[in-house]
Amino acid sequence: MGPIEFAAKYYYRGVPKLIYRPQTWTKMSNIIFVDSPVGTGFSYATTQEGFKSSDTKAVQQLLIFLKEWLQEHPRFSQNPLYIAGDSYGGMIVPTLTLAIDETGEEPLFNLKGYIAGNPLTDRQFDDDGKIPFYHGMGFISDELYEKAKDSCGGKYSTPSNVLCAQSVQAIHDKASYAVLKMWANDETVRGSLGVHKGTIGRWKRCNLSIEYTRDLRSTVEYHSKLIRKGYRAIIYSGDHDGGMTIVGTQAWIKVLNLSIADDWRPWYVAGEVAGFTRSYANNNLTYATVKGAGHTAPEYKPKECFEMFARWMSGIPL
């Protein structure tokens, strides 16, 4: 979604080359990309204690960052603000959005809504949606699916008996970022990015070694509060994402119990079906699937996601 990408197709050796990405979301908006929590990307702490984080702590730190950034750049204070993220960001985005809404302190934000792509939202819905999704995609046999469904009663996230646990495990048993690593670990690149020398060791796409507490179990209630407060939101899913499946995402959206404004229909890009969409609550919440996309959708379908974002930001139905 950013303005540049790697020319990975032509990479041979040395520092990977960057090329312009025409489908960049920065054509419609100013975007601040933040490495969060501390210890991910090029973000760092000066003490070991500073690397300890959690969902709620990450939200607090992001709120502090946004306040301090706006104080240093007051000319942006009236710009419409949307909080966005994907994947595990599904736990952070609605939580941070509500925290901004409730802060009541200077500087005040012109908060308008939020964007969540392929979002982790609630482990029960997300996990329970995986097995029906795997079956629907043909990843597991009818026999294995029926065995799991009968023994688990549709509840796969917390198996209630041995047979259920065995069936779920059997399903999970069945069921490239090399260029990026080379680029981010080059000292010349780091210097150009302003990364302080000695603060970061080897760059990792997913740093699983940081001390992090997942203290948010669900953000469904955060979505409910924000939509009822009148904020705009778009939730989108790659329809081939086996981690945060369209089945699980649609299940928790249904629990919000919102009125349907524009019912399930295809949306198009250049005359081709790009996915399916449904809008709720006077069009405040839009849900969209992205056809043929995995985790995350913009990586697989940049053109379609660009069109989706452009229309939504302009208030045009998908």
What does the pLDDT average to over 263-289?
Answer: 96
Tens of pLDDT along 176-229?
445 556 656 777 777 777 777 777 777 766 666 778 899 999 999 999 999 999
Decide if 179 contacts 16 (C-beta within 8 A). Answer: yes
In angstroms, the CA 249 to CA 259 distance is: 17
CB atoms < 10 A from the CB of 119, how many? Answer: 28
Strands of 68-117, DSSP E: 81-86, 111-117
> What pLDDT, on a 0 to 100 scale, did the predictor assign at position 6?
78
Q: Which CATH number is 32-123+198-313 given?
A: 3.40.50.1820
Q: Which of 167-176, 237-246, 252-261 has the lowest mean pLDDT?
A: 167-176
Q: Which of 13-22, 24-33, 268-277 has the lowest mean pLDDT?
A: 13-22
Q: b/e for 273-311, b at 16 or more Cβ within 10 A?
A: ebbbbbbbbeebbbbbbbbebbbbbbbbbbebbbbbbeb
Beta bridge partner(s), residue 54: 213
| pTM of structure | 0.84
Active site residues: 87, 241, 295
Highest-scoring range by mean pLDDT, 129-133, 164-168, 310-314: 310-314
Tens of pLDDT along 19-76?
888 999 999 999 999 999 988 888 888 888 888 899 999 999 999 999 999 999 999 9
Question: Where in the chain are the domains?
Answer: 32-123+198-313
- At residue 115's C-alpha, the angle toward residues 247 and 61, to 5°, is 115
